[in-house]
Amino acid sequence: MAHKIAPSILAADFSNLQSACDIIENSSADWYHIDVMDGVFVPNISFGMPVIKAIKPLSTKPFDVHLMIVDPDRYINDFKAVGADILTVHYEACNHLHRTLQAIKAEGMKAGVALNPHTSVSVLEDVIKDIDLVCLMSVNPGFGGQSFIEQTYDKVLKLKRMIKESGATTLIEIDGGVTSANAKRLTDAGADVLVAGSFVFKSSDPKNTCNELKDLVS
């Protein structure tokens, strides 16, 4: 299976998002990974709907929007309106996760659930068939450029087993600290999508770095 690469624009030059879009469009990247932070769920604020709306016309590839916000139900239709194709909410931010997932799908988007490093994949057992994508956080959310948490490999194996046993078709995405040093081990363990922020955008040739990462896991 061709594994997917989703560069995170959080690590891009915000004064030139057009260039970030060009890199994603003209490389073998599969998705845009778009990190929305509210300063409450995570100790950082990134950007919101106006920025997503502004770059949508520059793009042809799917927008994978990762909401690091409390009570995401308030904004599901707004994110659909600005161009989200996959909308991921945090398990830790939802009181009624099943309802939230249905609301995302009712808007015609794929529904994702992100888990913080301390949250066991077992909490998703009863809802796994309703989830299109599980985003395993391999750093504590809030900032790019952090070190990969090694425990993630075990979580991938455990989650992959759960998905197979339940007959679900859920994709596993890894977010945080992904580099060429851990990419292959992650996909070998069962990851389907790798998010890469700093590794791609802080490199000297982001397009080439992206292509190399894709080749590594193809």
Q: How far apart are CA 182 and CA 180, in angstroms?
A: 6
Rounded least distance, CB 172 to Zn ion, Å = 14
205 belongs to the catalytic site: no
Q: How far apart are CA 143 and CA 150, in angstroms?
A: 18
Element (H, E) at 51: helix 49-55
Rounded least distance, CB 138 to Zn ion, Å = 10
Q: How far apart are CA 81 and CA 133, in angstroms?
A: 21
SS3 content of the chain, % helix, strand, coil (to 5): 45, 20, 35
**Which of ligand DX5, Zn ion, none interacts with 112 (beta carbon under 5 to 8 A by kind)?**
none
Closer to ligand DX5 by CB, 103 or 200: give it. 200
> Under the rule (CB under 6 A), what is the footprint of ligand DX5?
8, 10-11, 33, 35, 66, 139, 141-146, 175-178, 195-199
132 belongs to the catalytic site: no
Rounded least distance, CB 184 to ligand DX5, Å = 16
Closer to ligand DX5 by CB, 128 or 135: give it. 135
Helix pair angle (206-216, 17-25), 10° resolution? 40
Among residues 30, 35, 38, 64, the one annotated as catalytic is 35
Closer to ligand DX5 by CB, 117 or 166: give it. 117
Phi, psi of 105 (to 5 degrees): -70, -35
Q: Any idea which residues carry the catalytic annotation?
A: 35, 175
